[in-house]
Structure 1
Amino acid sequence: MSRMDAFPKCSVCQQQFTLKGPVPYLLPCLHAVCETCVTSAAGGVISCSTCQREVNLTDTGLQKDAARQKEVFHVTVKHRPTELLCTNDDDGNQAVCWCQECEEFLCEYCQNMHSSVKLTRNHVLQNFSDMAPTASNIPAFCSIHKHHLLYLFDKTCKKLICAKCRFDDHADHEVVDLDVVADTVTKQLNHHTDELSTLQARQQSHMQSIRQGTESTDRTHNSLKDTISHTFQSLRSQLDQREKELLIDLESQTKETKATLYAQLTTCEEEWKTCTEALDYIAKVLLYASWSDLVELESYVGDITRNYLETAAPQTHVVPTAAFNTNSLSTLKSTISVFGAILPREVDEESVKEKDTQTDDDLMADLERKHKMDLTELKTKIASNEKHIESLKSLPDKLNAEIKCWKSRIKEKKTTENRASKTMDVLLGVARECGIQLLKSEVVDRSMVVKCIHLKYDKDRVNIDYVNINTEGDLVNRKSGTRPAGKGRLKKYWGTCSTGPLPRAGCPQYWEMVNRVSLDKPLTENDLILEVGMCREGQRDVSHCINPQPSSYSLDVSRCPTHGGICRKTYKEEKHVLHLPDTVPNTAGASHTLHYGVVYDDARKKILFIDVKENKVMSTFDNVDSSQPLWPMFGVYNPRLLTVSMTLVVGSDINMTEEKKAMIVKALS
C-alpha cells in the first residue's frame, strides 16, 4: 500500500482525511463522510458511493468517527511525520514525540522540559518511530466542568459524566465506572466480532462452493461439448457409410440392368441379321430364277419364312428405371431436429429415453444389447459373490478372535486409566498442598501449571526506621522501637523484600497481598500508600521505592494530582504504564481493603498485576528481563497520614478459583 492509499477517504467526495482537515462522521453503513459533505449535502441527503446507501440527515443524526480520527492520527505519524509541529508553545519546531496524557506533540526541546518538570515527568512520551495504535484509558475532561475528568457513565442518561456532574444533575441516576462500561462494551464488540467472523466463514464457504460449482459447470460444458461433437461425428460417419452403401447398390443394379439389355440387344441383332439374309436370298431368287426354279425353291423359302414367323415378334422394350426411396426422409429429419437434449444435473440421464423417436427395430436392438450387458454383468457378480461367500464363511471365526482381542485391550486400557486417574488425583492433591495448580483441567503441561510459591517477608532486612512486621506477621507502616537492627537491613526503602529471589521455575509463579488501608486525613501531595513489585538485588535499597529503577516492575497506590483522588499505577523499567483512578476515597476516616495478585512467568518473560477483588488483570508486562534473579519487594508509606497493614497470602492459602485460572491463562496466551 502506498503512503497516499494508507489514509482513509470520504465515501462521498473521495477526499482523504487529514489531521487538520474536515472531521470524519460515521454513517449508519459504517463508512465515513467528511464534515464538509455533511454541511453541504443537497436536500439533506447523503449518498454513500461505497455501498450506494442514501442517508437522510433530517432523520438521522451522525456522530464523529473517533476510530477513524485516531486512524488518521497514527497514519499521519507513520507516513507524514514532517507535517507535525510542536503544539506545546506553537514555536513551529518539528515534533518528535507525543504525550498521550497531555495530548500534545512535542519538539525535542519541549520533550526535555516535559521530562524534567515535576508535574509531567512521569508522563509516558512516545517517539514517532515507536508509536503503535493502542486504545487510550485516560478519561477526557468534562465539557461543563472543565477541570474534571469523565470517568463515570450514567446508565439512565446513557452519557459520560464527571464526579461533579454526578452530584449536581445525576444524583438519583444509576452510575458506574467508565472502565466497567468499557469492559462490557469490549465484550459485546468481541461477541459481534465472533458472530461476524462465523458469518464471514459461512459466506467464504458458500463462495467457495459457488466457485467450485462454476468450475464443475465448465468441466461439464467441456465434457458435453466433446460428447455432442463425438455423437454427431458418429452420425455423420454413419450417414457417409450409408451414402457409400447406396451408391454401391446403385452401381451394381445399373451394371446388372445394362448387362441384361446388352444380351437382349445381341440376340435381337442376330435375328435381324438372319432375317436380312433370307430377304436378300428371296430377292436373288426373284431376280435370277426361272419359273421352274421358283417352284422348286418355294418349299425352302417357305419353310425358312414360316420358321422365322413362328418366333415371337420383337416388341418395344421398356427399360426398368431405378428410383431412390425417400419415404422415411421426413421422419428422419424430424428425429434429427429433436435428437439430444441438455438436461439439468439433477435429472437422471438413464431415466430419459428417446421413446418417441425410436422405431420398434431400434427399441428391440437396444433391449437386446442391454440384455446382453446385464447378463454379462450378472455372471460377473455371481462369480464374485461365490468367492465372497467363501471368504464370509471364515469371517465369523476371525471376527470372534478380533472381538476377544479388543475386549482384552479395552479391559486393560480401563484398568490402566483407572490407575492413572487415581495416581493423578493423588499427585494433584499433593501438588495442591504444595501450592501447585493446573491452569487448564486435564492438561498436565509445565506451561499450564501455576505455582503458588511460599514467599516470606525478610524480617532481618525490614527498614525499622519506617516500617515493622507485627505479631500477626503483617507489614505495617509504623517503625519498630524494640526490634534490633539486622546487619543487612534496608536503610532507604520503606518496607522489606522476600527472603530470597524468585527461582527460574519454567512455569508461572503466583502470590497475593491483602492490604488494609485507613486514612487519618486526606492526602494532598503525590503521597505513596503502598507498593508491590520486584527488582534486581542491587536495586533493593537505592530509593524509598523501586518504581524509578531501570530493571524494576511495580504496582503503586498513591494520591494522584491529575485526578485529585487515590489511583493505582504500574511501572515497567522506570516508565509509567497504567493509571487507574478511584482506588480509595480520599477522605478522612475512609478505610478500604485492597487485594492484589502478582504472576511472574520466567519462561514467557511476562509479569501480571491482578486486582483480585475486581477479578481482572490490570497490567501485563511483556519481554521482562529475567537474565538476573528478581526479588519480590513490599513497601508501605506515610504513617503520619494513614495506616497500612499488608498481609502476604502464599501457597495453599491462596483461593485459586476457576475464574482466576481462566483470567491468568487468557493474559499469558
Structure 2
Amino acid sequence: MDIFPKCSVCHQQFVFKGPAPYLLPCLHAVCETCVRSAAAGVIACSSCQTEVNLTDTRLKKDAVRQKEVFHLTVQHRPTELLCTHEDDGTQAVCWCRECEELLCEYCQNMHSSFKLTRKHVLQNLSDFKPVISNIPTPCSIHSPDSLYLFDRRCNILICGRCRFEGHADHEVEKLDVVAESILKQLDQHKTELATLQAHQQSNIQNIRRGTEITDTTSNTLTENIGHTFRTLRAQLEQREKELLTDLDGQTKGAKTTLRTRLNTCEEASKKCSEVLDYVTKVLTYASQSDLLELESSVREATRAFLDTAETQTQDIPAAVFNTNGLSKLKSNISRFGAVVTKELEEEYARVSDRETQTEHDFIAEMVIKYKNTIDDIKKRASDTIDFILGLSNECDVHLLKPDVLDKSMVLKCIHLKYDTDKVNLDRTHINTEGDLINSMSHTRSAGKGRLKNYWGTCSTIPLPLADCPQYWETETRVGLDKTLTGGILILEVGVCAEGEMDMTHCVAGRPHAYSLIVHHCTTHKGICRITWKEGKVVLHLPDTIPNTAGASHTLHYGVVYDDARKKIVFIDVKENKVMSTLDNVDCSQPLWPMFGVYNTGLLTVSMRLVEGSDINMTEEKKAMIVKALS
C-alpha cells in the first residue's frame, strides 16, 4: 500500500520487522539494507538529490518512522502482527506499552493476572491509536536504573549513577526539561513551516490563476489579432476590387476612344483610297485634253481631303499600376502590432505615433510656411536648406528637430549594402532575399579579396564624413537549435577601420573598432549584449533573450554614427531605448560598417539590413537619437 513510507534509495516499502529505517540529514529515510550496501560509502537521496558520505556522517535509526510503520501495520495489515511473548505464531490482539510486546488473547489474560504486569496498560489492536510513551528507558550500564538525565557535552541520556561516575563535571539537565524545550522549538518550527506552506499554497494558487488568466488573455488576443487582420485583409480586398473596377472603367473608356478613332481613320482611309483610285485611273486613261478638264476637279478634291484628314499619329493611352509607397507599406506591415504587457501599452499610449515626414514633404511645407519670408529664410539658413536639398538626392533625410534648421539636426538614413564580394563564404552567405545567413555557401567558392577570418561581411563603401548623424538598422532572426554554453557568439554589428575588419572572427576587442555583440555569457549564465570601444567593454547588459533550445527571437538594433560629434549610438529598436553611447570616437580614418553572424549548428541566424526609406523613423526614435547625441 502506498501509504507506507519508502526507502529514498531503493524505493522499497518499510515493513514491520523489516530492514530498519535510518534518518538522512535531509529528513528522508533510507533502509538498513541500502546503508550497508552503499557504494563507496555514499548514499544519494532520490527524493531531493542530496548525497551523504557515510564516512563523515553517522546515521541514526529513524524511531519516528519505525513507530509510523508499526501503527500503519496495526491499521492496515493486522494479520501480520503475531504474539511476541510466546513467539508461537499466534495472532496478536493487543499491545503492551510498558513491555513493548504484542500479546495474543492467552498471553493478554496471563499478563493481566501477574502481579508485576497487572497495572500495565494494554491497547486492543482493533481500536489502537498512536500514543506518545514516556516510559523510562533502563540504563544499559546500571540496570534497572532509568535514563532520566541528558548530558549536553556527550549528547546522551544517562542515569543517576552515570551522573556521579563518569559525568560529574558535565552540564546535565533532566530529560523532561530538555524534552519540553525541544517540544517548544518543534512547535515553533511547525508554526513557521505552516506559515511558509500557506504562503506557498497562496503562490501556487496565484500562479495557477495567472496561468488561467494567461490562457484567457491569449484566447482573447488571438481573437482580436484574427479580427484585426481579417479587417485588414477585407480592406485590402476592397481596395483591390476598387482598383480592378477603376482599371476596368479606364480600359472600357480607352477602348471606346480607340474604336471611335478607328472608325474615323477607317472612313478617312476609304475616302483616301477612292480619291487615290480615281487619280490612278486619270493617269491611266485620260488624254491631254481630258487632263486639262479634270485637273481642277482632282486638285480641289485632293486638297479638300488633305485639309480635313487627320494626318498626325495619335498616342495610344497606356495605364500603369502606381506602387509609390509600397516599400513603406510593407515596412509598416512588418512592424505593425505587438504583444506587450499592459504597463508597456500604457507607456506607448503616451507617445505620439504619427508618421514621419519625407524630405519632399518637409521641403514643400517649408516653402508654403515661409513663402512670404523666403528671402529671410535663405539668409538665415541657406546653408542648411542647400545641405538638405543636396542630401535628399542621395538618401532619405529626416530633421530631428523640425523647428531647428541646423546641420547637426539632420539625420541621414544612408543606403548601405552588404559587400557580396567580401562576404566570408566559408562561414556565411547572402541568400536570394539579401539576408546574411550564418552558414557557408554551397553554390559559390571563396575567391580573392574575400574576408577569411571575419564571420560575415562589411558594407560596400566606408562611412563618409557627412558633418551630420548617419543611421542604419539590422533586424536579425535568431533560432536556438541548442541551449548555449561557453561564451558562444550570436551576432555583431558595428564599425571599424579597414585594417581591423579581417584580423579575427569579430571586431569586438580590436583597437580601432566600435561594436555591439550578442553572445552567451559565462558570467551571467545567459545571453547578454556587450558594447565594445577600442578593445574595451563599455556596457554589459544581461538577459537579452531566454537561453531556451528551440526558441526563436527577433533582435532589432539601430546604429547612429556622427563624425561631427565623434559619437556612435547603439539603439534597441524593439525596446525603444538607447543601449549605449560611445564618445570620442576616432574619425580620423574611414570607418566601415560590419555585420557578423556566428556558429551554425548551434544557431540559425538571419540578419536583414534595414536602410534608407525602409527605416520607420518615428518621432519617439528621433527623440531618443537627439537625447543620445546631446
Q: Distance in 2 between matches of 1:335 and 1:149?
A: 89
Gaps of 5+ in 1: 365-669
Deviates more, 1:112-121 or 1:84-93: 84-93
Distance 1:17 1:285, change over 3 A: closer
TM-score, normalising length: structure 1:
0.50
Say whether residues 1:203 and 2:204 are aligned partners.
no
The Cα of 1:276 is off from its aligned counterpart by 3.5
The Cα of 1:301 is off from its aligned counterpart by 3.3
Aligned residue type for 2:108: Q
1:226 maps to 223
Q: Distance in 1 between matches of 2:232 and 2:111?
A: 94
Distance 1:134 1:286, change over 3 A: same
Aligned residue type for 2:240: E
Question: How many residue pairs get matched?
Answer: 359
2:213 maps to 216
- Corresponding residue to 1:28 among 25, 30, 33: 25
Say whether residues 1:115 and 2:112 are aligned partners.
yes
Question: What is the 5 A alignment of 1:186-265?
Answer: 186-265=183-262
Question: What is the 5 A alignment of 1:154-553?
Answer: 154-281=151-278, 295-311=292-308, 314-349=311-346, 351=348, 358=355
- Corresponding residue to 2:92 among 88, 91, 95: 95
1:655 maps to none
TM-score, normalising length: structure 2:
0.53
Q: Distance in 1 between matches of 2:44 and 2:141?
A: 35
| Residues 151 and 157 in structure 2, CA contact (< 8 A), matched pair in contact too | yes
CA RMSD of aligned residues (A): 2.7
Helix, strand or coil: the match of 1:133?
coil
1:44 maps to 41
Q: Distance in 1 between matches of 2:299 and 2:46?
A: 124
The Cα of 1:355 is off from its aligned counterpart by 7.1
- Corresponding residue to 1:152 among 129, 135, 149: 149
Pair member with larger Rg: 1
- Corresponding residue to 2:134 among 137, 155, 165: 137
2:57 maps to 60
| Residues 23 and 34 in structure 1, CA contact (< 8 A), matched pair in contact too | yes
The Cα of 1:253 is off from its aligned counterpart by 1.3
Deviates more, 1:273-282 or 1:318-327: 273-282
User: 1:340-364 CA deviation, whole Å, 9 max, x = no partner?
Assistant: 2222343135626997883669xx9
| Residues 19 and 73 in structure 1, CA contact (< 8 A), matched pair in contact too | yes
Q: Distance in 1 between matches of 2:7 and 2:290?
A: 142
Helix, strand or coil: the match of 1:232?
helix
- Percent identity (aligned): 66
User: 1:115-170 CA deviation, whole Å, 9 max, x = no partner?
Assistant: 11222111111110111111101111111112111123234443222232233333
| Residues 268 and 309 in structure 2, CA contact (< 8 A), matched pair in contact too | no
Q: Distance in 1 between matches of 2:355 and 2:43?
A: 67
Q: Distance in 1 between matches of 2:15 and 2:302?
A: 135
| Residues 343 and 349 in structure 1, CA contact (< 8 A), matched pair in contact too | no
| Residues 335 and 357 in structure 1, CA contact (< 8 A), matched pair in contact too | no
The Cα of 1:232 is off from its aligned counterpart by 1.7
The Cα of 1:217 is off from its aligned counterpart by 1.9
The Cα of 1:320 is off from its aligned counterpart by 2.0
Helix, strand or coil: the match of 2:147?
coil
Q: Distance in 2 between matches of 1:131 and 1:99?
A: 11
Helix, strand or coil: the match of 1:195?
helix
Q: Distance in 2 between matches of 1:242 and 1:258?
A: 24
2:11 maps to 14
Q: Distance in 1 between matches of 2:271 and 2:212?
A: 88
Helix, strand or coil: the match of 2:252?
helix
Distance 1:173 1:290, change over 3 A: closer
Q: Distance in 2 between matches of 1:327 and 1:351?
A: 29
The Cα of 1:107 is off from its aligned counterpart by 1.3
Q: Distance in 1 between matches of 2:121 and 2:150?
A: 26
User: 1:209-258 CA deviation, whole Å, 9 max, x = no partner?
Assistant: 22222222222222222222222222211211111111111111112222
| Residues 151 and 162 in structure 1, CA contact (< 8 A), matched pair in contact too | yes
Deviates more, 1:188-197 or 1:177-186: 177-186
Distance 1:25 1:288, change over 3 A: closer
